[in-house]
Amino acid sequence: MRFFKMLLLGCIVATALCGHAQDRSGFDVEKATRAYLDRMTPAEKARSNAYFEGNEWLQLWSFLFEAGTAILLLETRLSARMRDQAQRLSRFKPVQSLLYGMQFILLMTLLAFPLDAYADFFREHQYGMSNQHFGGWMHDRLIELLVNLVVGSLLLMALFGVVRRLRNTWHVWGAVVSVTFMIIFVTLGPVYIAPLLNKYTLLSDPKVVDPILRLARANGIQSDKVYEMDASKQTKRVSANVSGFLGTTRITLNDNLINRCTLPEVEAVMAHEMGHYVLNHAFKIILFFSILFVVGFVWLRFACLGLLRRFGARWRIARIDDLAVTPLAILAFSAYLFILTPLTNTFIRSIEMEADMFGLNAARQPDGFAEAALKLGEYRKMEPGPVEEWIFFDHPSGATRIRTAMRWKADNLPSP
């Protein structure tokens, strides 16, 4: 009840702010926000809306595909046959887990290929978001497959090792193992895995580098280099990140950001990304998902045991430590995460809003921030309804971000 009272109070305050949007200096926040939003033509808005709403449907189709594939592998006993094959090739349990994991990942990748090709290649070209030819796209997918084979098989080996040895508490330690893999991926992935897909070079243009490093030093980020990523070979999206851990800190912006944006926009975007780093958002996200994983593994234990009691003989799966249970576990966990989509999106969106405010205060470029929001609006719906934003948006909408920037401008600049 207290939460809903606070939510109601927040809505009242927000309404009051919108109703009194004109600053004492005469700067009208709502008018300035609308001026930015109206720069998108009706055709551009329609394309952006269609693209984003299509992504909303793709979330559902992807979940239904995963669910259908898992059921297919169980009902046809194909999962059991892959387990049998792994057992024939080796008598060592960890090696069996690796062999089953490789079979499973290869099969799932093959079955998912038509949907992935549509979503990540053909649809991206349909909406003018991709610069990549099909050969280049396939090259990247093969690299991702190799990474998935290594990481996924090792994760499966570790999880089934836990299940075999800790029959009563495997759900607790399974969550610990999963979180450990997540931490390794989040902290080291941008530094060691991302360069497998893109080329990273030192940026030397002082007009771009010097303001970014000044921002970094002013906010305690220990880095004296800025890297450029050749993202334009794949996409037209602008992006950047500040990542790393224990001496691996790296400031990176993609070449689209340099080529398509003005220096105030670059500073605004980089300040936002520095906000993520300074505010320890990576660790907050890890903590949040660690809690979700612990709860999810408890759900996984009861769901899998209950379904195995009813259908285990039909699927040729006798126990929870049977490798063939993998599709069932993925189905149960995917359903859990799918249902929690509004919660996870809301959490990530709040993190992004914090970084927005940090970036505005650090760079002091509200118009640059608003201009960047317009470019992000090429593939994110600018003015969604409140329910749509709550469920589907893991970032604040473009209208919210521009309004935030204009409010900051009214409050902090002497003569907006």
Structure tokens at 126: 């349909």
CA atoms within 13 A on the CB side of 17: 14
pTM: 0.86
Joined tokens for residue 345: 């999106």
What string of pLDDT tens digits covers the 416 residues of the chain?
443 444 443 443 344 444 444 544 578 999 999 999 999 999 999 999 999 999 999 999 999 999 999 999 999 999 999 999 999 999 999 999 999 999 999 999 999 999 999 999 999 999 999 999 999 999 999 999 999 999 999 999 999 999 999 988 999 999 999 999 988 887 778 778 888 999 999 998 899 999 999 999 999 888 888 999 999 999 999 999 887 665 567 889 999 999 999 999 999 999 999 999 999 998 899 999 999 999 999 999 999 999 999 999 999 998 999 999 999 999 999 999 999 999 999 999 999 999 999 999 999 999 999 999 999 999 999 999 999 999 999 999 999 999 999 999 999 977 65
**In angstroms, rounded to a whole number, what is the distance separating the alpha carbons of residues 301 and 295?**
10
Nearest to 34 by CA among 374, 272, 357, 267: 374
Alpha carbons 79 and 407: distance in angstroms, whole number? 56
Rounded CA-CA distance 11/408 in Å is 19
Do the Cβ atoms of 371 and 305 come closer than 8 Å? no
Residue 54 · residue 61 · CB < 8 Å: no
Q: In this structure, are residues 391 and 342 in contact, taking their beta carbons and an 8 Å threshold?
A: yes
The closest of 28, 143, 163, 34 to 94, measured between CA atoms, is 163
**Count of Cβ atoms closer than 10 Å to residue 304 Cβ:** 20
Distances (CA, A) of 73 to 79, 97, 102, 114, 209: 5, 17, 15, 18, 52
Give me the DSSP letters along 33-54. Answer: HHHHHTTS-HHHHHHHHHHHHH
In the chain, the amino acid numbered 408 is W
